[in-house]
């Protein structure tokens, strides 16, 4: 469904993606790990053209996302994006954050949009916070609203960029739980996360990035195998230790 | 001073109204408010054009803003005063002249405030809207401008304060505003310019000081209620 072919990306003279290839099939969950600055965020941002690439090809269902004729906004509606910093609209209530896309893009009436938004809020357990401003929500609650906002658009794919990294440890669980439910429901997902437990549990494959390249890929079950995945295994163990998890 | 005020307070407040045109403080406030209100759409347009990815929008807008900001207001007042009759084909009153000049002048300054407000928003706001699939205009109208304008409210009040002070230049084209009223009183009394212009100064000061305090108050409120994103104030 999503395919990267020999993707190169530079910021000025700095190459941040180098010959990245890979495929995410419908219903698969890929987890991206790697040291800071290795290009994980940049890679998933290329999928909805938040970042343009200089060479190679990124395609969704066979369609090149850089193609001139492509309706990029239509594509973005099909692909949810969850940010580390939530990026909720601070001037709108939790509900307003979710209804905006529904009324502006889906052409739903106000009432229908509210109803749909309430369903999504219920799914992430935040029915009671519908009329709260984002500033008054906890980090975990904000991220769940952000997830609900994306899901309300009925995306076929969800991209997560370190959705729990800005959260206090006690709130990580509630966000991961929402993501696990999504994965269990068959959602196609690419998650940048260092939550090793989550990766082991739901990832079909883990991609390890370093200096703009995907240098190792492995199924969670194979991670103990030091012969085939020496660097990925070592990285994950280090992450686990530093988080004490 | 008190005696002057006692005898002339109505003139200071509303000019010769109801026996003549409305003027004084009322006209000063009216002109400042209407100018700011009318220049608002232009200011937003200029700000958006200056931030546009398209050169053909960005360059002219930038040129306009720099030109206007590089000239004193009195230039615009004179130009409007002498040229608009040629364009419109009839004499234009002092009040209209001043309002037109102020709209042009203030649009340039206000556009810079709005631009700063837009640029001050976290990049993630536009990215989140973009990621939902929203296009430029819905993103701008529903996400960018409401936040930028809210954050810039203190600066806009400061801009209103400058505008109030600038209306005093209307005196040179006989726009009936507060300074004009003071000059009238002075012409009648002849011997007490210190007192008369003292009253004028105090009136401007009280008004502007109150508004500046309001701006500071709003600024504190804003940085409080959005979890720390500070409202940036551009000194007027
Ligand atoms: N807009 C930008 N302009 C210039 N350089 C950038 C920009 N965005 C990212 N970079 C650089 O690109 C490289 C890859 O960044 P990216 O954010 O993809 O890394 P990451 O793997 O997500 O790291 P992290 O774990 O810190 O989020 C980094 O060296 C970063 O400094
Ligand atoms: Mg990143």
pLDDT in tens, A205-244: 999 999 999 998 988 888 767 767 778 888 888 877 776 5
Q: pLDDT tens across A234-243, in order?
A: 888 887 777 6
User: A65 vs chain B: nearest CA distance in angstroms?
Assistant: 14
Q: How many helices (H) and strands (E) does chain B have?
A: 11, 0
**Cβ atoms A63, A30 nearer than 8 A:** no
Asked if B225 is an interface residue toward chain A (Cβ–Cβ < 8 A), one would say yes
What's the pLDDT score for residue B235?
Answer: 43
Asked if A10 is an interface residue toward chain B (Cβ–Cβ < 8 A), one would say no
Q: How far is CA A21 from CA A16, A47, A191, B20, in A?
A: 14, 13, 17, 80
Burial class (CB in 10 A: 0-12, 13-18, 19+), A66: middle
Strand A14-24 with A63-64, pairing: unpaired
Query: How large is the angle between the packed helices A94-104 and A110-123, nearest 10 degrees?
Result: 130
**Cβ atoms B69, B58 nearer than 8 A:** no
**Cβ atoms B166, A106 nearer than 8 A:** no
Domains belonging to chain B, first-starting first, are 2-226 (1.10.3720.10)
pTM as predicted: 0.90
Q: Whose CA is nearest to atom 25 of ligand 1?
A: A36
Collapse the DSSP code of B75 into the 3-class scheme (helix H, G, I; strand E, B; otherwise coil) and give the result: helix
Contact B132 A101 (CB under 8 A): yes
Dmax (CA) of chain A: 58
Contact B131 A153 (CB under 8 A): no
A67 HSE (CA, 13 A, CB side): 11
**d(C-alpha B207, C-alpha A197), whole Å:** 63
Tally of CB atoms within 10 A around B175: 26
- Mind giving me the DSSP string for A143-212? HHHHHHHHHTT--SEEEEESTTTTS-HHHHHHHHHHHHHHHHTT-EEEEE---HHHHHHH-SEEEEEETT
Q: Is A44 in the pocket of ligand 1 (CB under 6 A)?
A: no
User: B28 vs chain A: nearest CA distance in angstroms?
Assistant: 34
Contact A73 B127 (CB under 8 A): no
**Cβ atoms B5, B12 nearer than 8 A:** yes
Burial class (CB in 10 A: 0-12, 13-18, 19+), B121: middle
Token reading at A32: 């991206």
Collapse the DSSP code of A43 into the 3-class scheme (helix H, G, I; strand E, B; otherwise coil) and give the result: helix
**Cβ atoms A205, A216 nearer than 8 A:** no
Query: How large is the angle between the packed helices A94-104 and A139-151, nearest 10 degrees?
Result: 20
Kind plus residue range of the DSSP H or E element containing A207: strand A205-210
Which residue is closest to A82 within chain B, CA to CA? B128
Closest CA to A206 of A182, A231, A186: A231
Residue A218 bridge partners (DSSP): A206
Closest CA to A156 of A47, A52, A69, A68: A47
Q: What DSSP designation does B15 have?
A: B
pLDDT surpassing 70 at residue A143: yes
What's the pLDDT score for residue B17?
Answer: 81
Cα A199–A204–A206 angle (5° rounding)? 55
Q: What is the pLDDT along chain B (236 residues), one digit of tens a residue?
A: 888 888 888 888 888 888 888 888 999 999 999 999 999 999 999 999 999 999 999 999 999 999 999 999 999 999 999 998 888 888 888 899 999 999 999 999 999 999 999 999 999 999 999 999 999 999 999 999 999 999 999 999 999 999 999 999 999 998 999 999 999 999 988 889 999 999 999 999 999 999 999 999 998 988 766 544 444 444 44
Q: How many CB pairs under 8 A join A and B?
A: 65
Q: How far is CA A102 from CA A91, A109, A226, in A?
A: 17, 8, 48
User: Can you tell me which atom of ligand 1 is nearest the CA of A209?
Assistant: 21
Q: Whose CA is nearest to atom 2 of ligand 1?
A: A11
Q: Is A129 in the pocket of ligand 1 (CB under 6 A)?
A: no
Collapse the DSSP code of A76 into the 3-class scheme (helix H, G, I; strand E, B; otherwise coil) and give the result: helix
Contact A76 B130 (CB under 8 A): yes
What is the Cα A48 distance to its own chain's centre?
11
What's the pLDDT score for residue B225?
Answer: 62
Contacts with A132 from chain B: Cβ below 8 Å: none
Token reading at B186: 């002075």
Q: Is A193 in the pocket of ligand 1 (CB under 6 A)?
A: no
Asked if B60 is an interface residue toward chain A (Cβ–Cβ < 8 A), one would say no
Which residue is closest to B149 within chain A, CA to CA? A91
Our mutation pick for probing the ligand 1 site, out of A35, A39, A54, A82, counting the most ligand atoms within 8 A of Cβ, is A39
User: A4 vs chain B: nearest CA distance in angstroms?
Assistant: 19
Closest CA to B99 of B26, B19, B169, B20: B169
Taking residues A60-82, what's their average pLDDT?
94
Taking residues A153-157, what's their average pLDDT?
95
Q: Whose CA is nearest to atom 24 of ligand 1?
A: A36
**Cβ atoms A18, A69 nearer than 8 A:** no
Q: pLDDT tens across A72-121, in order?
A: 999 999 999 999 999 999 999 999 999 999 999 999 999 999 999 999 99
What's the pLDDT score for residue B223?
Answer: 78
What's the pLDDT score for residue B226?
Answer: 59
Kind plus residue range of the DSSP H or E element containing A57: strand A55-60
Radius of gyration of chain A (CA): 18
**Cβ atoms A158, A182 nearer than 8 A:** yes
């Amino acid at each position: 469904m999503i395919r990267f072919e020999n993707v190169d990306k530079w910021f000025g003279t700095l190459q941040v993606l180098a010959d990245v290839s890979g495929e995410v099939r419908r219903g698969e969950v890929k987890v991206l790990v790697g040291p800071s600055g290795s290009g994980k965020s940049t890679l998933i941002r290329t999928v909805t053209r938040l970042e343009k690439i200089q060479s190679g090809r990124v395609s969704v269902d066979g369609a090149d996302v850089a193609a001139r004729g492509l309706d990029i906004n239509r594509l973005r509606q099909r692909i949810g994006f969850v940010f580390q910093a939530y990026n909720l609209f601070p001037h709108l209530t939790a509900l307003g954050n979710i209804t905006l896309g529904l009324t502006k893009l889906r052409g739903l009436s106000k009432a229908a949009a509210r109803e749909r938004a309430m369903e999504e809020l219920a799914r992430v357990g935040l029915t009671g916070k519908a009329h709260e401003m984002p500033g008054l929500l906890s980090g975990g609650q904000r991220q769940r609203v952000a997830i609900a906002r994306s899901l309300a658009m009925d995306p076929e794919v969800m991209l997560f960029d370190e959705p729990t990294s800005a959260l206090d440890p006690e709130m990580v669980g509630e966000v991961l739980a929402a993501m696990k439910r999504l994965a269990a429901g068959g959602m196609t997902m690419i998650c940048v996360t260092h939550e090793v437990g989550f990766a082991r549990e739901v990832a079909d494959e883990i991609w390890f990035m370093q200096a703009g390249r995907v240098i190792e890929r492995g199924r969670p079950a194979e991670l103990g195998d030091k012969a085939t995945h020496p660097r990925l295994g070592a990285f994950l163990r280090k992450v686990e230790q530093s988080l004490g998890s | 001073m008190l005696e002057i005020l006692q005898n002339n307070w109505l003139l200071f407040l509303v000019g010769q109204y109801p026996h003549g045109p409305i003027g004084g403080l009322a006209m000063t406030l009216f002109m400042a408010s209407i100018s700011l209100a009318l220049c608002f759409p232009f200011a937003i347009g200029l700000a958006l054009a200056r931030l546009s990815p398209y050169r053909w929008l960005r360059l002219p807008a930038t040129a306009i803003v720099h030109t206007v900001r590089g000239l004193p207001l009195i230039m615009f007042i004179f130009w409007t005063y002498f040229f608009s009759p040629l364009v419109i084909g009839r004499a234009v009153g002092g009040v209209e002249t001043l309002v037109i000049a102020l709209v042009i002048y203030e649009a340039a300054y206000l556009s810079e405030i709005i631009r700063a407000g837009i640029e001050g928003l976290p990049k993630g706001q536009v990215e989140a809207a973009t990621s939902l699939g929203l296009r430029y205009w819905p993103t701008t109208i529903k996400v960018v401008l409401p936040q930028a304008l809210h954050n810039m409210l203190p600066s806009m009040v400061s801009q209103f304060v400058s505008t109030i002070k600038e209306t005093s230049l209307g005196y040179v084209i006989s726009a009936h505003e507060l300074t004009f009223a003071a000059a009238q009183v002075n012409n009648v009394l002849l011997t007490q310019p210190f007192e008369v212009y003292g009253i004028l100064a105090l009136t401007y000061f009280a008004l502007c000081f109150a508004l500046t305090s309001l701006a500071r108050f709003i600024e504190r409120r804003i940085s409080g209620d959005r979890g720390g994103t500070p409202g940036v104030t551009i000194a007027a």
